[in-house]
Amino acid sequence: MKHLIINQNDSARIKRLVADSNNRKKYQTKEIYNLLQEIDKGKCFAPENVPPQVVTMNSIVRIRYMDTGRTVDIQIVYPDQADIKKNKLSIFAPIATALLGYQKGDTIEWEVPKGTITLLIEEILYQPEQAGDFHL
């Protein structure tokens, strides 16, 4: 089994968000559970040691929906920064949860409200760790 790579700061921030009882009420429990499972199965690295091809928080990622061939660029953000019109997806959204910790070239099958989808990570257009933006 391939290990996901998780920025240790991302892991700590996400777990703090989940621990907040207001977020537990606001977001679907299943999505929070799936996110925590993904983080727990990952290997945590210090931000400066995260490889540049890994999807982390605030990364901008080009994904391909394998069933339609459609590509879209999305940014994975914390809930307060989410803006669907700007393709900024909350980490609590199923697609964002699916991508966290995977790498360029990976194909992921994930359950979303409409069923199972298959995504290909085509490109990492921006990754904070690669850019030296460790504060994000």
3-state secondary structure the chain: CCCEEEEHHHHHHHHHHHHCHHHHHHCCHHHHHHHHHHHHHEEEECHHHCCCCECCCCCEEEEEECCCCCEEEEEEECHHHCEHHHCEEECCCHHHHHHCCCECCCEEEEEECCEEEEEEEEEEEECHHHHCCCCC
Give 72-104 pLDDT, tens digit per residue. Answer: 999 999 999 999 999 999 998 999 999 999 999
pLDDT winner (highest mean) among 2-16, 28-42, 61-75: 61-75
**Regarding the domain delimited by 4-131, which CATH topology (the fold level of the hierarchy) does it fall under?**
Chitinase A; domain 3 (3.10.50)
Q: What is the pTM of this model?
A: 0.90
